[in-house]
A = this chain, B = another copy of it.
Amino acid sequence: MKKMNMKELAKELNVSIATVSKALRDSHEISGLTKKKILEMASKLNYTTNPYAGSLRNKKSKTIAVILPEVADSFFSLAINGIQSVAEKKGYHVLIYLSHEKYSNEKSIVGECNSGRVDGVLISISSETTNPDHILKLQKENIPIVFFDRNFEGLNISSVVTNDFESGYLSALHLIKNGCQNPVFLSISSSLGICNKRAEGFRSALIEKKTGRIKNPVIICSGTYQEINSQIKKLLTGKIRPDGIIASVDRLAMSVYLICRETGISIPNELKVAVFSTMETAPILNPPLTTITQPAFEIGRIATELLFKKIEKKAFSVVDENIILPSFLIERTSTAAS
């Protein structure tokens, strides 16, 4: 069965192609009767309008790009749901691109976004990204952009993030209150604003409470799975061991749990653990894991709404907004007082 086009449809009905076009877009210029006839024939002949021909004319792709470091992370999965929920409502299509936390990947993906393929871009930057030029270039091309969760600081681009400093601060206080003398913060990047803010909040609490004997309580965990595991293992079995950990992502907390099992370190007695995460399994881990839970779906949803505001009012150059949604500390056994 060959794909039929508008011209053929028009011929079939003995009307002009323009009439068909207008009827299909429900123009008021077309009489109810012809409209009806056209619609019927279209569905009978299984006609579907070619989206790319329209894109070419209208310079609108009805498509947005979502660029994220990883999908196999509970936060991003939920965020995608939020994004999709509004894109769908707007009749938009969603292209997903993964940077795998590599700056080079992110750069080339972003580079592709100014081709007209997409009407807007949602991005959560990779942990390696320290140079925002690729993003600024996109902005200069006048493509609407919104950061979600992981933004690049100081760029005058809309973003939706959580109260990172405060969450870091409160999570540290929580550990300290429950008896930690030597908490550390496991970060995944020294450049990621979101991590740094959380780490700063964390640090502030230690200073304020005069807690911690470890010179630098913010530890960057990077490298492969293996490397990170051995790095954490060294940390937990070294001479100066922390008695509390705030992990910045799912994976790091899992590592810590695994290593504690393996080495027999008892959580929360010897080590208290909390994580920035939306993991659904947190309450059924051994022991149940304290989380600082971000409103992932909402972050995705609101970021997308912001994006559409820019896409739809592109002419008037909508002002950029930076929205901060609160995360919630959910206390569980992993940080219980000793």
Q: Mark A residues whose CB is within 8 Å of B.
A: 1, 3, 46, 48-53, 55-56, 61, 63, 71-74, 77-78, 80-81, 84, 93-98, 111-112, 114-117, 137, 140-142, 250, 254, 257-258, 261, 279-281, 283-288
Contacts and interface: CB of A to CB of B under 8 A. Distances in A.
A84 B114 CA distance: 21
Given A71-B80, A95-B95, A254-B280, A52 B116 contact: yes
28 contacts: A1-B142, A3-B141, A48-B111, A48-B112, A49-B115, A50-B115, A51-B116, A52-B56, A52-B116, A56-B56, A63-B95, A71-B71, A71-B80, A72-B74, A72-B78, A73-B77, A77-B77, A80-B96, A81-B98, A84-B96, A93-B95, A94-B95, A95-B96, A96-B96, A254-B280, A281-B285, A284-B285, A286-B288
A5 to B, nearest CB: 10
Nearest to A72: B77
Contacts of A63: 95
A116 B84 CA distance: 21
Contact of A254 (B51, B93, B284): B284
Given A84-B96, A93-B117, A96-B96, 13 more contacts: A3-B141, A49-B115, A50-B116, A52-B55, A71-B80, A84-B98, A94-B96, A254-B281, A257-B284, A261-B283, A261-B284, A279-B281, A284-B285
Nearest to A297: B72
Contacts of A96: 80, 84, 94-96
In this complex, which of A56, A142, A258, A279 has the most chain B Cβ atoms within 10 angstroms of its Cβ? A56
Contacts of A3: 114, 116, 141
B283 A258 contact: yes
A285 B283 contact: no
In this complex, which of A55, A94, A284 has the most chain B Cβ atoms within 10 angstroms of its Cβ? A284
Nearest to A116: B50
A220 B136 CA distance: 52
Contacts of A46: 114, 137, 141
A279 B279 CA distance: 11
B115 A51 contact: yes
